Each structure stands twice: as C-alpha cells, then as structure tokens.
Amino acid sequence: MTSFFAGVGRLCVGAGACWLLSGCALYSVAGQFEGSGEVFYGNVAVSPIDIGRLDVTTVDNRVSCSGSTQVTRRGSLMSNVGAQGRATATCNDGRTFKIDFIQTAESGGHGQGIDDRGNIVRVFFDMSSSTVRAKLDQSRIDALVR
C-alpha cells in the first residue's frame, strides 16, 4: 500500500536501484510546464518510509529534472487514497520546481506546483504509464476547450 509520492520518498538512489530493494514502488509520471508547453515523462521510485526520487525528461530530451518526494500526510492506515505530499526537482536548464500532490486512487493521483520562473507545473502519476499519458492528454484537451 505504498502511495505514488509516498514511494517516491524511498531511500532508493534511482528507479533501477529501487528494484534491488524490497518494498520499493515505481510509478510513471507525466506532466507539463504550462508556460513553455513542454511535456515531460518519467518515473518516481518510492520507499516504504514515504520518501522517494523523481526523474523526468521532456519529450525532446532537451530538459531532464531530478529530485525528491515525501509524503507529508497519510489518508489512513488502510488506504493510500488521500495521501498528500511534496516533490522538488532541479532541471539541467537551471530551473527548479516544487509540486504538491494528492493520491486520489490506490494506483495514483495528481499534483500541481510552480517553477522558479513562475510557470505552473502539472503532473499525473500512476502505476500504469498508459494511464498517466491518457490523463495528461485529456488535461491538455480540456485546456484547449476552455
């Protein structure tokens, strides 16, 4: 019952190292920097102690970002739904961002934050990479309709 960002806070060095340790969870991430429109995909590796590592890269592979996550509030002892936390990351282009997230289902959730340039950053996370891609696509369509 490790949540997305709860698992992100694990003591894993990276997604690959996480697989070597028992109890780590791996989630897919999809998101967008709204100011530039840059879309990114990646992974979050989460430990049983609710800390983790976030690694994402833009579609064109020009920007990569890495950081940490931590669950700050658990929904309940019986469910990951309602868990909340924060993620911070630094990118190779110099930008940094912070995201607050909430787990809305056992398999994942969503988050929103801001980068140091004032751009909104939106993310979706789930155990299924196709699910996070579909959620991001739907979010982008919804934004066009508004």
What pLDDT is recorded for position 55? 97
Set out the domains of the chain in order of their start, with CATH numbers. Answer: 4-145 (2.40.128.120)
* Cα gap 142→124, rounded to integer Å: 15
Q: How many CB atoms lie within 10 A of CB 21?
A: 14
pTM of the full predicted structure?
A: 0.82
Kindly tell me if the per-residue pLDDT of 18 is higher than 80: no
- pLDDT digits over 19-65, tens only? 445 577 789 999 999 888 899 999 999 888 889 999 999 999 999 99
> What confidence tier does 78 reach under pLDDT thresholds 50, 70, 90?
confident
Residue 74: what are its φ and ψ, rounded to 5°?
-95, 145
**Cα–Cα nearest to 72, from 53, 81, 82, 85:** 85
Are the C-beta atoms of 52 and 68 separated by less than 8 Å? Answer: yes
Which range, of 13-17, 30-34, 110-114, averages the lowest pLDDT? Answer: 13-17
Residues whose CB falls within 8 Å of the CB of residue 141, separated by 6 or more in sequence, listed in order: none
